[in-house]
Structure 1
Amino acid sequence: MQRRCNAPRLVGASRRGAWAVNWPGGQRRPEGPRSMLAAVGLRPYGALVLIAATVGAWALIVGPATLVAGAGQVNQVASLDTGRALYLQGCASCHGSAGQGTPNGPSIVDAGAAGADFELRTGRMPLAAPSLPEVRQPPAYDEAQIEALVAFVASLGNGPAIPDVVASVGDLARGRQIYIANCAACHGATGAGGTVGGGFVAPGLDLADPRTVAEATVVGPGPMPAFAFDRQQLDDLAAYVEELHHPPHPGGLPVAEVGPVAEGFLAFFVGIVTLVAVARWTGRAPR
């Protein structure tokens, strides 16, 4: 007798009966769209393509900004490390390892970026010896080293930032008024400099640029007081100092730009000597 198999057949779908409907997994699939992917005509692997495209677009939009921010942080850390190394090598012996000052030099904790940039860019620092006076000279560091040192000194405290100044937009008339009222007493009417007492000398402004002019007014180096000029006043003052570098000479040849009194005295002295010589020459008795 032949045994009859009660298991449903998995082949010959056309011969399946009603039992096939009740068999697990044997129900007929609906005739409608099988899924959202099928509705848009995508195969299952199309999901991976769609996800990859979305992630790629996001990376193109957000990625560059993130990379730039990350690079900026890395550069800032590297600049601080470089500045710290330069500071410990050339500045710490006088100003202390943390800028707290020593018997050989004052504290620079609150010197800020403006103070450090002014001293380094004008060559006043570092000094070869603590007893030497600060005078303008070529800077001891290159631009990258100055920026690194300025960043490190600025990180020590809450000193003033480097002011923004644009001399080209300044007003010469207003700048002259500011200069005469606040600067000419020490630096001279023509910016030639002069003695201010107490062993201090106000330097000439022939090498001063708009940046260091603005920094000096904010910091007040040496006996010079700090001023609370606003942005427009700084622009005006810087413009006038720039004009002092190329002053007009309606009276003739200048004498080292030392001012009208000295130039007038020289003219008087030369004139007197000339008159005496002419008088002696014309007053000789004929032989």
Structure 2
Amino acid sequence: MKALSQRRRHPLAAVALLLMALLVTGGIYAVASSANEAKAQAVTFTANDVEEGGKLFAANCASCHGMGATGSDAAPSLVGAGAASVDFQVGSGRMPMQMDGPQAQVKPVQFTDEQVGQMAAYVASLGAGPAIPTDEMVDASEGDPAHGGELFRVNCAMCHNAAAAGGALTRGKYAPAIDGTSERHIYEAMVTGPQNMPVFSDANITPEDKQDIIAFLKTIESQGSPGGAALGSLGPVSEGLFIWVAGLGVIIAFTVWLTSRSS
């Protein structure tokens, strides 16, 4: 017993215990992260997809992003950007950019779905990154709109507006309206953080919570504005301006009418 007590009081015992705790914590975190990553890796690509995607990238993207997608003065490196980033940016028409500016503008998509997938496969082959979600992961019918609304108001409404109508940011940038955005692109935007949007990894918002947010957005999109004219969904600002302009117009019109009657 005395020998055991002495070993317990050894000066290095506390250090060993701390190292053991760190190893256990790190192992648990690695297992959890791997589980989430495994969910997102369900969409796979073939070697032919990577090869064809490399050709498309060299012809359409390398002038800015550099050969091998290592980046240049005009555009960042895409190594580690992941397939989801390419699928969102190219699939929504934001890339290739039409002109320089503070933010990539949405325009008609220039490639077929197959070509977008091939370019995504090529970029994914350069380094690990967010993968394209499966149809099951973005199925709005499986989500909880009420819970998704809570998450959206806490994490997204300060930029995108509580009604997902978008809003202005600084230096000519803006958070776009989400109305009409596909479920897959909504998910990809959360995991890649395009433009000025922060990245919401699975550690911040789980895949199930992302599905709930998608369900909320698709619910309000299908229901429309229950109060009539939305007026940009800007709340008291637009409503007050409308009342002021309309009310002042009525007063002026009534004053002109009274003046004409008296004369």
Which band: TM-score by shorter chain? 0.7 to 0.9
Verify the 8 A CA contact 2:102 2:172 in the aligned structure 1.
Answer: no
Which of these residues, 119, 123, 144, is aligned with residue 171 of structure 1? Answer: 144
- How far has the Cα of 1:278 moved from its partner? 2.6
- How far has the Cα of 1:249 moved from its partner? 3.5
- How far has the Cα of 1:242 moved from its partner? 1.4
- How far has the Cα of 1:260 moved from its partner? 4.4
Q: Match for residue 281 of structure 1?
A: 257
Q: What is the distance in 2 between the residues matched to 1:131 and 1:285?
A: 56
Q: Does 1:253 align with 2:229?
A: yes
Q: Match for residue 197 of structure 2?
A: 224
Verify the 8 A CA contact 1:94 1:130 in the aligned structure 2.
Answer: no
TM-score scaled by structure 2?
Answer: 0.74
User: Number of residues paired by the alignment?
Assistant: 214
Pairing of 1:264-279 with structure 2 (within 5 A)? 264-279=240-255
Q: Match for residue 197 of structure 1?
A: 170
- 2:69 alignment partner, SS class: coil
Q: Match for residue 24 of structure 1?
A: none
Mean Cα deviation higher: 141-150 or 249-258: 249-258
- 2:70 alignment partner, SS class: coil
Q: Match for residue 211 of structure 1?
A: 184
State the Cα deviation string for residues 201-229 of structure 1 (Å, max 9, x = none): 11111231211111111011122111131
Q: Does 1:93 align with 2:63?
A: yes
Q: Does 1:103 align with 2:103?
A: no
Q: Which has the higher helix share?
A: 2
Pairing of 1:134-145 with structure 2 (within 5 A)? 134-145=104-115
Task: Specify whether residues 268 and 149 from structure 1 end up closer, same or farther in structure 2 by C-alpha distance, changes over 3 A only.
Answer: same
- 2:169 alignment partner, SS class: strand
Q: Quick one: which amino acid aligns to residue 195 of structure 1?
A: A
Q: What is the distance in 1 between the residues matched to 2:180 and 2:170?
A: 22
Q: Match for residue 214 of structure 2?
A: 238
Q: Match for residue 124 of structure 1?
A: 94
Q: Quick one: which amino acid aligns to residue 205 of structure 2?
A: F
Verify the 8 A CA contact 1:189 1:259 in the aligned structure 2.
Answer: no
Q: What is the distance in 2 between the residues matched to 1:131 and 1:255?
A: 28
State the Cα deviation string for residues 179-210 of structure 1 (Å, max 9, x = none): 11111111112222121113321111123121
Among the aligned pairs, what percent are the same residue?
Answer: 36
Verify the 8 A CA contact 1:84 1:152 in the aligned structure 2.
Answer: yes
Q: What is the distance in 2 between the residues matched to 1:235 and 1:220?
A: 17
TM-score scaled by structure 1?
Answer: 0.68
State the Cα deviation string for residues 123-150 of structure 1 (Å, max 9, x = none): 1111245557301122110011011111
Verify the 8 A CA contact 1:114 1:215 in the aligned structure 2.
Answer: yes
Which of these residues, 181, 184, 200, is aligned with residue 157 of structure 2? Answer: 184
Mean Cα deviation higher: 82-91 or 123-132: 123-132
RMSD: 2.3
Q: Quick one: higher RCO (CA 8 Å, sep 6+), 1 or 2?
A: 2
Q: Quick one: which amino acid aligns to residue 131 of structure 2?
A: A
- How far has the Cα of 1:263 moved from its partner? 2.9
Structure 2, unmatched stretches of 5+, are 1-43
Pairing of 1:144-159 with structure 2 (within 5 A)? 144-159=114-129
Q: Quick one: which amino acid aligns to residue 100 of structure 1?
A: T
